[in-house]
Structure 1
Amino acid sequence: MQNDYSDKAFEECSAWLEKKYKNKKKGYSLEKLEMAGKQNDEELNKFLENRVDEDDWPEFSVDEWKEFVNYYYTLWENSKSCIIPSEPSIAGVSDRTVPKGVQTAWQKYKNHLLEDDGFSLPAVMNIEKSVLDTLNFLNDDTQEDGNAVKGLIVGNVQSGKTANMAGLISMAADYGWNLFIILTGTIENLRIQTRERFKRDLKNGNVTWTFLEKPGSKTNDTKLSDLDLNDNRIRYVICCLKNISRLRALHKWLNSDANKKRNLRILIIDDEADQASINTGDINDEKKRTAINQCIRNIVNNTDESEKSKLSANEKDTIQVPYKAMNYVCYTATPYGNFLNEAGMETLYPKDFISVLNPPDLYFGPEQIFGSTNGLPVLNVISGQYNTSETDGPDGDIAQLEDLCAAPSENLPESLKQAIAWFCDAVAIQRVWEYKKPVTMLVHHSMRTEKHLGLGISIRDWLNHIDTEAFLSICREVYVSQTAQLTKDIFKSCWPDYGCYSGVDIERDIKDYPAFDTLITHLKDLKQDISHIEMDCEGALIFKKGIHICIDNCKNDEIIDGEPDYSSHVRLIYPERDSDYDGFAPAFLVIGGNTLSRGLTLEGLVCTYFSREVKQADSLMQMARWFGFRKGYELLPRIWLTKMAQRQFEFLTRLDKELRKDLYKYQGVTTPTECGPLILQTPSAIRMLLTSKNKSQSVVDAMMDFSGANLQTFNFINDKRLLEQQLEVADSFIKKLPDCSFKKDGTRIVWENVSFDVIWSQLLKYIQWPFSQTMNIRDFKNWYDAIDDAHKMKDWDVVLAGKKSDNAHQWNGVGKISRTRKISGMNTADSQNICIGALSDPSEWHADLKDWSDSRRLSDEEKMEIRKQYGKDMVPLIVIYCIDKDSQPTKKMSQVRQPLHAEADIIGISIHIPGQRLNKDYCVRVRINIDDNSY
């Protein structure tokens, strides 16, 4: 892409193009858009020339126009959000459009993102699309039926949810909402951080923003009656802590003036909605309902159901007065509790809509780190594990860390020394690059505050007492190993489409590592002055060139050696502006627990040391502060974690992917009140619950539905006897099959109309490999046995697939395929466990179609339609591969893949099941119990 199409010079032509793209009646395809509806290039060129003269469009050649169209078409297609149901049920509010005036709150905010915050145009368009979709589900007048709109937006950890919230508030302000309440978690410093973020992001224009601090409290005498709701320019914002006293004060304040209340158009944003907002009391006993949940319900539902609300008589009368509009929108990256806690009109269950945000193309998410294909090789192992029984204690590095927490010493485990050394290397690299913003390392070992101090003292003492030459030596050693672990070429191989919609060129834009010798001066600076953030006599913060050790927990008045020192600031606080320090990237090594688990953004995070034991999936995902955006220092992030934590994150990555995939299936089919989302149950092997039991009180087992599934084996045990046994089973199965239906190109043999009973009894029941971390083939058989005869798929197609090959590399007449080891974290070249990441070929879906050879990338719906044309839309498909034990990575992939080095050839199995989900109650996934009479 040669032009910057986000430039304002292209606004008129992009608006014209967008109007055509959204014209569903005329059905403008990509090809038709490229031709602007004209018949040939000559007519198109004339059209473009006329637009330059008549509408001041920039000059386009025919090829440039087609490039421009492709750019925007790709953006719009990738900005499509998933929202359930597909259309709002509220009459007359689904046709809102994006506010266009330059002084509107939305356009002011949009320009702020592009010009001040450096957001890419694709990222902003993504926000715009999802915000508009959400806005069209909100109701600006709920007085008639009194039913608040309730929805849930599923984002990703550190993926820009706050930017989306500010966008929704801005656009809603343009459409007349006048009071915005942001519920900001349970920690005051995070509430303040959120408030300041919104003060910075919401820009005055056609509307003026007024922030109200703790309304109804003793420290704020602003009355509801003081609000000027007749001035169409004024918008009020409240950032409220999820705290019982503050929520009760807010509730009283909202009911202090009946006349004003009638004119309140309220939008409540519940940030981190799975924290504190959920009822963890007995859902069957209203008297035992969690107080915070009850407070929020009282505000949203306009009720007074708490015995402790202490409303006055006048305020109790005002409860009968409806708000002009009430809309409650939750945001979270971990919605398991929201989906599994309780349903019903009076609850906070998202009865009206569930929306899934698309992560931007610059987002370093779980898929890029723990995904099944080529995860970025940024993981390093912390040895040892926590006690697995009442008698066994922790071992390895974990045991050593526990000792440091109890009795501080300089005896750090090697993994922690290496992590600190890499952090210092990364800060030095940033300073060589003349990067000016803060750089951070996170040490997350325990939620217990007393352990943070011991660990902080130990790290400080090691840095202070290690000889400079020894320190430089370990920094050099770690630098060599880590820079070899992730090179620019490896990054490109693992993530070739990084920033592809944001104009990022990996070769041009990603900075490579400098020579180690250029770091030495900066490394000495870092080691020379280890301190807290210091204050001068006037209380101003002083940032030095050394490492600032911060302990961020609720005991913010305690310094690292346990003695009062009022000249130090121990908790994490970043400089407000570059002028607060003298032109270098300040370094922060942060030790903490719960304050680092929710909401807090760690700036310039390049190193994470995560040794904490976590027993709940939602908590673990929220602790992944290393997810986010790393533009400008893409090669620097590194993570140290235990093998158990890696296994847990790998499962969570799959859980998250499956949940989102399932939500997309709901779109246009059902509503949140008809069928709760299915969530994978956590396997016992990873010692973790989905969420706390009191957050999932309405959970019921649901069928582990395989309809529409694509299952494949990709983890194998490198045991010669076992591998040879699987080869014998597959060989015997193939030889017992009747004559094949057809062969093709030496790459496949196809047998049609094979009974599932034969496939099961002669092949699948003997397969030792799991089809995922959470499911083996027995789970599939249980599902198959449980479905009724009308849905049973008795006759299958069987394919032996491979590649063209000489006779020496064939197995049963088809060439063996090549698959190599995925290397990341505990997936090492010499491990007994072989992980190949992915088995199936992209063309596998049509392996049993005799003459299909089109190589286009098609959607699942298009693939199903083609199979239907061949009479195969309801025919399940099983594909067998023989993987060559001597498989070698290609030259291009040699840096991220290792030779297979298997003891024998490996049999891989892939299964494609047609159809849509069948709503039956059976095993291994869970969903919420929705009473048909509750809505």
Structure 2
Amino acid sequence: MSKKDPIKNIRQLLSDSSSYTREEIEDAVDEVLKMKYFINENREMLIRRIEELYTIRQDEFGTILKEDENNPWLNEKRANIDFENGFWGRYREYLEIEKNFAPDVINKLDRITDSILDNFFDPTLKATVNKKGLVVGQVQSGKTANYTGLICKAADAGFGLIIVLAGIHNNLRSQTQIRIDESFLGFDTQHTRAFDQRSIQIGVGDPYFGSPIVAHSLTSSIDKGDFTQGAANALGLNFNTSEPIVAVIKKNPHVLRRIHQWLAAQANEDDDLGRVIRNKSLLLIDDEADNASINISNDPERQSTINSWITKILNLFGKNAYVGYTATPFANIFIPLDDKNLFPRNFIKNIPAPTNYIGPEKVFGFSPLKEDEKSNTVLPIVNRINDYGDFVPDRHKMSDQKPSTLPESLKTAIRCFIITCAIRRLRGQTTVHNSMLIHVSRFVFWQDHISELVDNQFLYYRRGIDQNDSEIINEFKRTFEKDENGYKSYVSVSKQILESELKSLDSQIQVHQWSEVLKHLNDAAAPIVVKSIHGGSGEALDYFDRKNGLSVIAVGGNKLSRGLTLEGLSVSYYLRASRMYDTLMQMGRWFGYRGGYVDLCRLFTSRELNEWFCHITHASEEVREEFDYMTDVAGSTPEQYALKVRTHPGVLQISATNKMRSAITVQISWAGRLVESYEFKKDISIIDNNLSNIKKFISVLPDNFVSKPSAFVWYDIPAEQVINFFEGIQSVENLKKAEPRKLIQFINAQLKNGELTDWRIALMSKPNAKNHSQFDINRNNVQIGQWKRTEDDKNSSEQLYYLRKSHIISPSDEFIDFTEAEKSRAMELTNLHRKKEGEPMYPNGQIVRNELRDPRKPLLIFYLLDPEESLEKYPLPTGTNPFVGYAISFPKSNYNAPVSYAVNEELLDRFDVVEEDFEDYGDDED
């Protein structure tokens, strides 16, 4: 372990607390500065970096849980599991001391891994059990660290075999194995095995972290170290050992078949299940779970090969737990709801990223920035380029004429990479990895050719720097300090970030002088190498063996597009035009943690791709919001909730078609619709909250209301007040048409078009009601009569009050705000459209909303529903406050553009698409 990092030494002087005073930090810094290694360190910079580390925060994770299959066990057994002196304890210390994780991030990791383990089962039980879950994070946000923590705890708890499915390429599998070696095993599997691990100790195996703990690996970190029966047998390992066994394997049919055959040989015959292993519990972790694992067979009766082998491996074990990890769960949302398809029926966990994570919303935002537009939330690091048409044309073919020169934008990107490496050295980051990504073609012939062109250009620059060529040096100087043609210089970018709220992302952001940077230019350029990374190139990104840092320009395609981490990635040149959300987002290797060089990162891409990423960022954020809503409000299970994904109006696809067979498209808009709340939670705290919320809302409405026989009506109420009301309402609806959160989104969208600006509010009061509620109206206490709305026997329960025929409104109430002249006009139009005699003699709602209501002036109607009168089969205690119900008569829109969503077809009934009005209004209601 490195002893020459002042930050690590300072942290060792501080206790385990997650916050400190400035004085405590200063004392620890001063103590470390007395050491001979650190006498030249910048005191103020060290203080700022420690303060930054202890201000990083991570929100709590959310869980969507199938309660009826959940059997919590961990707290009861915790006293019998030695986490602190086991795999987890040394891993936690390793993250703190060696990896410099923020204290709050480590604490959140501790809690979520506990939660996942608790949602599985006690691995020491003698039982038959299987669990399936999904963990959703963000691209490059630390999912590997998360599931490594889970592996450590699972091993401590007694899971005997842990299999990690690590992507579909050798390099990703090898990279994952190295991480497991460092963070779980403690020895280098490339050279040794558990029984002689003392020879090559790495990561958690360092004696600093305590005595060795034995675990065995069936695979190694060499590029071809995947599972083979020969290698497994050569270990001489007794499969029935009590020590944990791990295997990191590719999602490849041949590898999966081999490990299945080897495991089947360890199984015993069972009368009910065939060959089965009962003396070990299996934990199977599926990294990038949306890739290759999903059943893509066209025949619903058959499974695709990889999916089939995964389920066969799980079924070999009487006790098995499957958990998928992904940042792009779009395809997982549409998995058919049965076990063989790995649907996460038991739980979904949503992991928020820490505050120092650089994700899509910080790189792109939800809409492209205009030229010279400044933002407080989006980093100014994207350069939109348009000079690549002759270099790599869109939709080029392998046989097309290859380019002979590089576009100016790529030359600029190469200069940026050299400058970034130089500034990092200037900032004291001398033994770090530096990477540049060039991703412009999926064809390996093109990648090799472009790699050669890039190498030639880079060598030209390196020679010029080495020889102090004034023309080349001036090119670098212009790139560093001059804005031109849509490109923002290093001076401008650093300055802009420092003048925004984003400055808190990184304590080391600063505007440097060119004279300072120039001193480090030659040392920065000297070690840089250009590599073409694909299956046939023979090149590898050997970060692990480069202790003083690797500086590389990586030219590649599919191998660089998913899962693989490019260490120290700062500059990306990206033109690869996939049209699938998940593929595009996974190709964004530029997301992640950029401590010390946030302002030195650059992304060069096309305007179209910039727009696409903005759309996908929006769609991804909505999916995360749905997870949060499922957790916080809806109380749904994974299989009860219709997750939706916003579709793209143009050419983008959510995921591959063969992963989307269960998806159908619905359109959501409330323009010209009547929206009614018709389902309520029988939760006293929610009932009380909602009544308090409406009383507060009504009390601040203006004095110029109109009093009617059964209502008080207000006019021209600002939309902001209505939005504030809905933000305080707690609802039960699961993506249904009256759910407050969705109404707020729609209202905000229409406000941008100058619609839904001036609301009409009606508080309905039943004459001669049995029960009343007291309201403050114009500083007077007014008794509001409560209404009866019969509960629906089929859909109601002890927890839910569901209105009969799904209606709260009495038909004539929709026009409570109209003048007599307006009502007469509404009746005229209704009579013109009347289909038959005997229809009710009140205006037709659809006609009124689409032909008479002003697009600026919707009507919001409130009802207080009497639980004593309304609830018969499932009553509430006497004296319970009334339910707050509402209906909204939305006018037509002159600008409305419905939002299109894809929904799992099997869950469509949960989605409840907005329908036309029902004709059968309640016939027994008030």
Q: TM-score, normalised by structure 1?
A: 0.61
Does residue 250 of structure 1 match 2:259? yes
Aligned to 2:298: 282
Aligned to 1:264: 280
Does the Cα contact within 8 Å between 2:141 and 2:593 map onto a contact in 1? yes
Indicate the SS of the match to 1:924.
strand
| Residue 434 of structure 1, CA deviation | 3.0
Does residue 929 of structure 1 match 2:909? no
Aligned to 1:24: none
Aligned to 2:590: 626
Aligned to 1:151: 133
1:410 and 1:425, CA in 2 relative to 1: closer, same or farther beyond 3 A? farther
| Residue 624 of structure 1, CA deviation | 0.4
Indicate the SS of the match to 1:650.
helix
- Aligned counterpart for 1:219 among listed residues 202, 210, 230: 230
| Residue 484 of structure 1, CA deviation | 3.9
Aligned to 1:459: 454
Q: Residues 816-873 of structure 1: CA distance to partner in whole angstroms, max 9, x if unpaired?
A: xxxxxxxxxxxxxxxxxxxxxxxxxxxxxxx999xxxxxxxxxxxxxxxxxx999987
Does residue 200 of structure 1 match 2:194? no
Does the Cα contact within 8 Å between 1:224 and 1:253 map onto a contact in 2? no
Does residue 594 of structure 1 match 2:610? no
Q: Residues 911-935 of structure 1: CA distance to partner in whole angstroms, max 9, x if unpaired?
A: 9xxxxxxxxx996332252599xxx
Instruction: Please tell me the residue identity of whatever aligns with 2:541.
Output: L
| Residue 141 of structure 1, CA deviation | 5.0
- Aligned counterpart for 1:666 among listed residues 614, 630, 634: 630
Aligned to 1:520: 518
Does residue 182 of structure 1 match 2:159? no
Does residue 574 of structure 1 match 2:574? no
Within a 5 Å distance, the mapping from 1:490-529 to structure 2 comes to 490-491=497-498, 493-495=500-502, 498=505, 509-524=507-522
| Residue 241 of structure 1, CA deviation | 1.2
Does the Cα contact within 8 Å between 1:375 and 1:494 map onto a contact in 2? no
| Residue 553 of structure 1, CA deviation | 0.6
1:773 and 1:593, CA in 2 relative to 1: closer, same or farther beyond 3 A? farther
Aligned to 2:660: 696
- Aligned counterpart for 2:384 among listed residues 381, 385, 395: 381
Indicate the SS of the match to 2:529.
strand
Does residue 615 of structure 1 match 2:584? no
Instruction: Please tell me the residue identity of whatever aligns with 1:449.
Output: V
Indicate the SS of the match to 1:351.
coil
Indicate the SS of the match to 1:149.
strand
Return the alpha-carbon distance in structure 2 between the equivalents of residues 708 and 483 of structure 1.
Answer: 54
Return the alpha-carbon distance in structure 2 between the equivalents of residues 484 and 291 of structure 1.
Answer: 53
Q: Residues 206-253 of structure 1: CA distance to partner in whole angstroms, max 9, x if unpaired?
A: 84221112797353252899436453xx11110111111111111111
- Aligned counterpart for 1:549 among listed residues 530, 546, 567: 530
Does the Cα contact within 8 Å between 1:797 and 1:878 map onto a contact in 2? no
Indicate the SS of the match to 1:199.
helix
- Aligned counterpart for 2:60 among listed residues 66, 69, 80: 80
Does the Cα contact within 8 Å between 1:6 and 1:121 map onto a contact in 2? no
Does residue 235 of structure 1 match 2:244? yes
| Residue 433 of structure 1, CA deviation | 2.3
Aligned to 2:473: 472
| Residue 296 of structure 1, CA deviation | 0.6
Instruction: Please tell me the residue identity of whatever aligns with 1:351.
Output: R
Return the alpha-carbon distance in structure 1 between the equivalents of residues 815 and 234 of structure 2.
Answer: 71
Instruction: Please tell me the residue identity of whatever aligns with 1:479.
Output: F
Indicate the SS of the match to 1:576.
coil
Return the alpha-carbon distance in structure 2 between the equivalents of residues 752 and 931 of structure 1.
Answer: 30
Return the alpha-carbon distance in structure 1 between the equivalents of residues 183 and 218 of structure 2.
Answer: 16
Return the alpha-carbon distance in structure 2 between the equivalents of residues 469 and 135 of structure 1.
Answer: 62
Within a 5 Å distance, the mapping from 1:256-655 to structure 2 comes to 256-258=265-267, 261-286=277-302, 289-302=303-316, 323-372=317-366, 374-383=377-386, 395=389, 398-399=392-393, 411-435=405-429, 436-465=431-460, 468-480=469-481, 481=483, 482-488=489-495, 490-491=497-498, 493-495=500-502, 498=505, 509-524=507-522, 545-557=526-538, 570-574=539-543, 576-578=545-547, 586-655=550-619
Q: Residues 742-791 of structure 1: CA distance to partner in whole angstroms, max 9, x if unpaired?
A: 899x99999999xxxxxxxxxx9xx99966999x99xxxxxxxxx96548
Return the alpha-carbon distance in structure 2 between the equivalents of residues 143 and 702 of structure 1.
Answer: 45
| Residue 370 of structure 1, CA deviation | 1.9
| Residue 609 of structure 1, CA deviation | 0.6
| Residue 578 of structure 1, CA deviation | 3.0
| Residue 111 of structure 1, CA deviation | 0.3
Which protein shows a greater Rg?
Answer: 2
Does the Cα contact within 8 Å between 2:572 and 2:603 map onto a contact in 1? yes
1:216 and 1:381, CA in 2 relative to 1: closer, same or farther beyond 3 A? closer
Aligned to 1:48: none
| Residue 741 of structure 1, CA deviation | 4.3
Return the alpha-carbon distance in structure 2 between the equivalents of residues 751 and 586 of structure 1.
Answer: 52
Return the alpha-carbon distance in structure 1 between the equivalents of residues 722 and 249 of structure 2.
Answer: 63
Two-structure CA RMSD over aligned residues (Å): 4.9
1:349 and 1:769, CA in 2 relative to 1: closer, same or farther beyond 3 A? closer
Aligned to 1:95: 75
Indicate the SS of the match to 2:598.
coil
Q: Which moved more, 1:459-468 or 1:435-444?
A: 459-468
| Residue 423 of structure 1, CA deviation | 1.0
| Residue 272 of structure 1, CA deviation | 0.7
| Residue 401 of structure 1, CA deviation | 11
Return the alpha-carbon distance in structure 1 between the equivalents of residues 161 and 676 of structure 2.
Answer: 44
1:750 and 1:446, CA in 2 relative to 1: closer, same or farther beyond 3 A? closer
| Residue 8 of structure 1, CA deviation | 8.0
| Residue 89 of structure 1, CA deviation | 2.8
Return the alpha-carbon distance in structure 2 between the equivalents of residues 403 and 149 of structure 1.
Answer: 45
Indicate the SS of the match to 1:239.
strand
Q: Residues 70-95 of structure 1: CA distance to partner in whole angstroms, max 9, x if unpaired?
A: x9xx9999542111117573334263
Does the Cα contact within 8 Å between 1:224 and 1:256 map onto a contact in 2? no
| Residue 518 of structure 1, CA deviation | 2.6
Kindly tell me the number of residue pairs found equivalent between the two proteins: 648
Q: Residues 157-204 of structure 1: CA distance to partner in whole angstroms, max 9, x if unpaired?
A: 100000001100111112111111001111112211111110100146
Indicate the SS of the match to 1:495.
helix
Return the alpha-carbon distance in structure 2 between the equivalents of residues 448 and 791 of structure 1.
Answer: 61
Return the alpha-carbon distance in structure 1 between the equivalents of residues 722 and 330 of structure 2.
Answer: 42
Does the Cα contact within 8 Å between 1:700 and 1:929 map onto a contact in 2? no
Does the Cα contact within 8 Å between 2:425 and 2:524 map onto a contact in 1? no
Indicate the SS of the match to 1:261.
strand
Indicate the SS of the match to 1:83.
strand
1:8 and 1:438, CA in 2 relative to 1: closer, same or farther beyond 3 A? closer
Return the alpha-carbon distance in structure 1 between the equivalents of residues 235 and 810 of structure 2.
Answer: 63
Q: TM-score, normalised by structure 2?
A: 0.61
Return the alpha-carbon distance in structure 1 between the equivalents of residues 56 and 289 of structure 2.
Answer: 29
Does residue 679 of structure 1 match 2:644? yes
Aligned to 1:123: 105
